[in-house]
A and B are shown apart, each in its own frame.
Chain A
Amino acid sequence: MLEIKSLSVAYYEAEVLREVSLSIKSGEMLALVGPNGAGKSTLVRAVSGVIPVKSGQVRMNGVELHHLGTMQRARYLAVVPQARELPGAYTVYQTVLLGRTPYLGWLGNPGQKDHAFVRLALERTHTTQLAERRVSDLSGGEQQRVLLARALAQDAPILLLDEPTTHLDLQHQSNLLNLVSQLCQDRSLTVLMVLHDLNLAGLYADRVALMDLGRILAVGSPEEVLTADNLSSVYHVPVNVIPHPDYGTPLVLPDGHTFEISQPTF
């Protein structure tokens, strides 16, 4: 159980995260949605400990993660960043092996066990055949899978994903989320992911948290959170929400006829 309690983050005077509280069970996938600048990525960065936190706690099964050292924390929590600006000269295998960093010494000499974890992570993300290719020679979808493999090699119970599907096409979006969803169940991972695509959030997440202006406005099942009222008040455009014909999950449609009365949000 990952518990985020009253987490606040401020850049200088401006509070960008205000008293955010969330808890996610193991084996559960929670999608974080909201407009640009809502503080979604900030929440991921704050939870992973790369930016200073003003107040609040992050606990995993009772362990306060922010009291741990960098290396200890990386054993609890793995992050899948967006596949942008990756160093292209390393091979896929080398890249995934760096996921073992929290278990290696300063010299980074991997042992049998580390190689076994890497092979398993490659297998699970269907990237085994790419192992000796350079990262720069891969497509965006393949690079994103490699980053997922690296996070799996980290063998951490918490998985944070920051907009993993943003640069992917339809096929790769569903492939990746199917994979994450399956891993979440098989490995009982605690998954927190930032998604821009509300329909993907509705389709894949167990629960959805809607953020705006550094606050969480609503948490619950996709049906409870992704309502026309909630979304149009946050995104400042009128939207329609209809049930998915097969699954009944909410499908969000922008309302084209009323675009001209929408307020710019920036």
Chain B
Amino acid sequence: MKQIIRHPFLTTIVLLAVAVLLSVAIGPVFIPPATAARLLLAKLPGTSIAPSWPETYEAILLQIRLPHTALMALTGAALAGSGAAYQGLFRNPLADPYLIGVASGAGLGAVLALAIRWPGTLLGLYTVPASAFLGAAVTIAIVYSLARVGRAVPTTTLILAGVAFSSFATSLTSFLMLRSNTELRRALAWLLGGAIMNGWQPVWAMLPYVALGLGVLSLSGHALNVLQFGEEQAQQLGMPIERLKFWLVLAASLTTAAAVAFSGIIGFVGLIVPHVVRLTWGPDYRRLIPLSALGGGCALLLADLLARVVMAPQTLPVGIVTALAGAPFFLWVLRRSKTQAYW
């Protein structure tokens, strides 16, 4: 165990691969993981594995389970990666990806889209996720410009402006929902992670944002390390902090916005996974962010699996499972840790 843990990237990648296999294997029709792995390998160019499985397997795997798995893994990676970045940016262990209003902005966007009764798709995009994404992006832009004091954006003002604007957006959402018919309840259920979109389209729509966002965040590890000493010391060590904060907020928020737009608001993953990684492999953000992303993908896949299995054929909202199973797991890790100052 100890030996394995010494290789953090190997460990998380193996865990993620196992979670992916379990996620594609388990469902109403059980596909043995070995068969699933062979089937997936056969689809890669340059391999020649003779098909020895029922044809239905291929359809289930490639058109239903794999896109769902990819969506969940991307969402988990987006939330945990940007959660780790936010915790570092705000130097606050309670920070999560929704801290400065991404979730409430997305909620308002989604409800607005349904309240205005736009068509379900517009220019080939699903209107609700597109509008949710736009809502989140606009919220971040407003919050960031509200928090500006002179040429600087102090993190305290950023958090306060974010929290205040979030409340505003949330009340507006509630008001819209009260005023209108049951149609809007669907929007809320969807946002809370109740109904997850199917097929490959949401995966392809989300991928560029998450890849770009997590890429920027992963490359900013050193800057976040310097920032842990406070903004003043970071500047004295040669770090241009205002530019750094702008890019970090932009990357983390767009990543989260893309995740929320397609998978709804899933709590706890973005808060807890970075802490588990930090407890296991230390505070160095150069590793912390990519490891959190890998771990977040793995954690959300496992939570989603539980959500699909415990009350099958009914599926629980995955957000319930992340907190219900995640909290005890985190407390167990916290209790086992031997160091007092891991933050």
Contacts and interface: CB of A to CB of B under 8 A. Distances in A.
Interface of A: 45, 48-50, 52, 69-75, 77-79, 81, 85-90, 94, 98-99, 101-102, 104, 106-109, 134, 136-137, 150, 154
Contacts, number: 91
A52 B150 CA distance: 10
A106 B237 contact: no
A69 B278 CA distance: 33
A101 B238 contact: yes
Contact of B341 (A85, A88, A109): A88
Given A85-B230, A88-B343, A90-B228, A70 B238 contact: yes
B229 A94 contact: no
A45 B283 contact: no
A108 B341 contact: no
Nearest to B282: A89
Contact of A81 (B91, B232, B241): B232
Interface in B44-61: none
B238 A73 contact: yes
Greatest chain B CB density within 10 A among A72, A109, A134 is at A134
Contacts of A45: 232
A78 B222 contact: no
A106 B247 CA distance: 13
B225 A108 contact: yes
B342 interface: yes
Given A104-B222, A107-B219, A89 B343 contact: yes
Contact of B235 (A50, A89, A104): A50
A48 B235 CA distance: 9
Contacts of A70: 235, 238-241
A134 B236 contact: no
A50 B284 contact: no
Contacts of B241: 70
Nearest to B231: A50
Given A71-B239, A74-B238, A90-B228, 16 more contacts: A49-B235, A52-B150, A70-B239, A70-B241, A87-B343, A89-B278, A89-B341, A90-B284, A101-B238, A102-B237, A106-B219, A108-B221, A108-B222, A134-B339, A136-B340, A136-B341
A81 B233 contact: yes
B115 interface: no
A79 B229 CA distance: 13
Contacts of B229: 86-87, 98
Interface string B236-254: 1111110000000000000
Contacts of A73: 238
B283 A87 contact: yes
Interface string B250-289: 0000000000000000000000000000100011101000
A14 B236 CA distance: 25
Contacts of A49: 235-236
Nearest to B285: A108
Contacts of B316: none
8 contacts: A70-B238, A70-B239, A71-B238, A90-B228, A101-B226, A101-B239, A108-B225, A150-B237
B223 interface: yes
Nearest to A78: B236
Nearest to B236: A79
Interface string B318-343: 00000000000000000000011111
Greatest chain B CB density within 10 A among A50, A73, A85, A150 is at A50
A16 B11 CA distance: 55
Nearest to B241: A70
B342 A101 contact: no
A50 B152 CA distance: 11
Given A85-B230, A87-B229, A98 B237 contact: yes
Contacts of B220: 106
A106 B222 contact: yes
A149 to B, nearest CB: 13
Contact of B223 (A106, A150, A154): A106
Contacts of A99: 237
Q: Which 7 A-B pairs have the closest CB atoms?
A: A108-B222, A74-B238, A102-B238, A136-B341, A88-B341, A89-B283, A87-B228
Contacts of A81: 232-233, 236
A215 to B, nearest CB: 24
B232 A137 contact: no
Contacts of A89: 278, 282-283, 339, 341-343
Contacts of B235: 48-50, 70
A75 B238 contact: yes
Interface string B139-173: 00000000000110000000000000000000000
Nearest to A110: B222
Nearest to A69: B240
B240 A71 contact: yes
Contacts of A108: 221-223, 225-226, 286
A107 B232 contact: no
A245 B222 CA distance: 51
Nearest to B232: A50
A77 B282 CA distance: 30
Nearest to A70: B240
Given A48-B236, A78-B236, A134 B223 contact: no
B313 to A, nearest CB: 45
Contacts of A86: 229
Contacts of B282: 89
A108 B284 CA distance: 11
A201 B183 CA distance: 74
